A and B are shown apart, each in its own frame.
Chain A
Amino acid sequence: MLELKQLSVEIDRRQIVKPLDLTLDSGASLALLGRNGAGKSTVVKAIAGLIRAQGEVLIDGMRLRDLSMRERSRLIGYVAQEFSASDVRLSVFELLLLAQNSQNMRFRADPQSLARASQMLSLLGLEHLAERQPTQMSGGQRQMVALALALIRRPRLLLLDEPTSALDMANQFQLLDTVRQYTREHEITTLMVLHDLNLAHRYADQTLLLEAGDKVALGATEAILNTERIAQTYGVHCELLRASDGSLCVHPMAAL
């Protein structure tokens, strides 16, 4: 469903992402891991079309390069680390309408967009935020709204760029549980940049490990995230523990 062919990014004549190949099935979830500056966010931004990149990105066999900006935007949902509309004086409901009407040239909002905005709020349990503006919300609430804004356009691919780094534990779970549930139900492919290896273990079927813009390893998350590789990539000695629910937990011991 998602295919990257020799995707690379060069900024100021420095190669930030080295040619990358990747194929993901419909509904799959992939964690992008690596140290700070490894190029994780850059890969996500390149796929989203926010920065210029070389190589090909294909979704459902369609080359993004051949599609108009409008068609491309329908295929991809993007959630950034920080909510970009955090200081604008629009209510959450208005933002949800805006996300669906951005190409509308008429005065009236598309009537379906009103119903869909209400539905999305109920679906994510955000009804109580409908009239609120992002400035009046907590970081966790804002990220849930950002997720709603990405999902309301019914994307085929969901890109999450460190969506939980500013959230407390409960909010991390709430956001990623919602992502998992919704993307499985709607067969949306998910690509998320994460820092927390435990979250990767819990929420990503597959993991892509990057180091200095280069692919180090790609495969099932449990197979990739072993103690040797964590030591190599992160320079941290750790133990892997099996929790009572069967999931693996990374317990960092010391920096190497």
Chain B
Amino acid sequence: MSAQAILSVDTAESTAGSEHYSRQQGRRLGWLLGALALTLAAVITDLMLGSGTLAWRDALQALLHPERASSLTRVVMWDLRLPVTLTAVLAGIGLALAGSLMQTVLDNPLAEPFTLGISAAAGFGAALVIVFQTAVVSWLPVSYLLTGNAFIFSLATVLFIGIFASRRGLSVEMIVMLGIAVHFIFSALLGLAQYVADVDQLQTLVFWMMGSLQKTSWTQVGINAVLVLVIAPVLMALSWQISALRGFGDQAQVLGISVARLRMLLLVFAALLASAITATIGVVGFIGLVAPHVARLLVGEDQRYTLVMTMVTGALLMTLASIASKMLIPGVILPIGIMTSLLGVPFFIWLVFGRGGRVA
């Protein structure tokens, strides 16, 4: 068809593409609601499970009507299980979001929350407290020294990389290389700390590094919740811009988006989330890498849906891992960091290869 013929077509009533689009929106909403329901079921299941023997009726009553429950049941539910389950949910959301943002900022599908050295930096921050009894946050109460120091080290690492990169106008590849260099420096320092540590210190450090939900508290749940509740709405408001950044890369600038500023903001958000969560529960891999991919496979690249789906997927995977960590060996709660990969990888492989790679 010639251009003349094309352009003279009466287009006032055209609905090309819009019907398929609204069907697609409906499908995405369906996946989202389904995943949300699954997550809710997983959360309730996780709360019912624990090392103690608690009838599920008592547990449910303690949750819904704490005043009617026995004090023991109340303590088990409210002081032991609920903070752990909520931490699982928040950590899942935070790590998944951090991973998704890192993948966008670094324009690399293999990026994850720890790509720029957060895990090693947090580990070294913890080692300073455990092995050398020193901390940059020495003003904090003793019980928060470890968490605080790990948080400061990991956050400072990413912010340093971000600011250094933006000052010098570094390319994404250079940022990744810088991150790898920083990772190796902190790994070496961590290795050094482990080498000079005595047996008790070494054990504490190794267990700290191994992600575990059991070290949480209501205060830490609160801090992580505030972070998620502040960052998630901002990301939702920016979701069109993030889609444009993922779609058009640097050329998103032509659409009026300040690409450099958006990248920096997303990097800061990713660093805050990953640092806070790593400081709370240690290093938990896999979720941050895979949850964004699962979300994309299910609801596509429109970040209005992808970001929500990423959060829900992260929470679901983490809660399922928590359930598995309690059930695998009766009476023992395994570290969550071990479970996430063991459980998640088969699921991921099924999703990628078993369904032909395309869902929505």
Contact B15 A118 (CB under 8 A): yes
Contact B240 A119 (CB under 8 A): no
Q: How many residues of A contact B (CB 8 A)?
A: 57
Q: Is A254 an interface residue (CB 8 A)?
A: no
Residues of A within 8 A of B250 (CB): 50, 84
Contact A85 B253 (CB under 8 A): no
Contact A127 B16 (CB under 8 A): yes
A74 CA / B17 CA spacing, docked (Å): 24
User: Distance in Å from the Cβ of A98 to the closest Cβ of chain B?
Assistant: 5
Residues of B within 8 A of A73 (CB): 253-257
Question: Could you tell me the dominant secondary structure of chain A's interface residues?
Answer: helix
Question: Could you tell me the dominant secondary structure of chain B's interface residues?
Answer: helix
* B239-264, CB < 8 A from A: 239-241, 243-244, 246-258
User: Distance in Å from the Cβ of A9 to the closest Cβ of chain B?
Assistant: 16
* B45-102, CB < 8 A from A: none
Residues of A within 8 A of B175 (CB): none
Q: Is B139 an interface residue (CB 8 A)?
A: no
Q: Is A244 an interface residue (CB 8 A)?
A: no
Chain B: number of interface residues, binned into ranges: 35 or more
A104 CA / B252 CA spacing, docked (Å): 14
Residues of B within 8 A of A50 (CB): 250-251, 253-254
Residues of A within 8 A of B16 (CB): 93, 118, 121-122, 126-127, 130
B251 interface neighbour in A72, A80, A122, A123, Cβ under 8 Å: A80
Contact B20 A93 (CB under 8 A): yes
Contact A131 B17 (CB under 8 A): yes
Binds A, one of B5-13, B209-217, B218-226, B266-274: B5-13
Contact A123 B7 (CB under 8 A): yes
A37-63 CB mask vs B (1 if < 8 Å, else 0) is 000000000001110000000000000
Residues of B within 8 A of A232 (CB): none
User: Distance in Å from the Cβ of B265 to the closest Cβ of chain A?
Assistant: 14
Contact B301 A121 (CB under 8 A): no
Query: Who on chain B is nearest to A79 by CB?
Result: B254
* A residues lining the B interface (CB < 8 Å): 48-50, 68-74, 76-78, 80, 84-85, 88-99, 101-107, 114-115, 117-119, 121-127, 130-131, 153, 174, 177-178, 180-182, 185
Which A-B residue pairs are the 3 nearest by beta carbons?
A: A130-B17, A73-B256, A177-B3
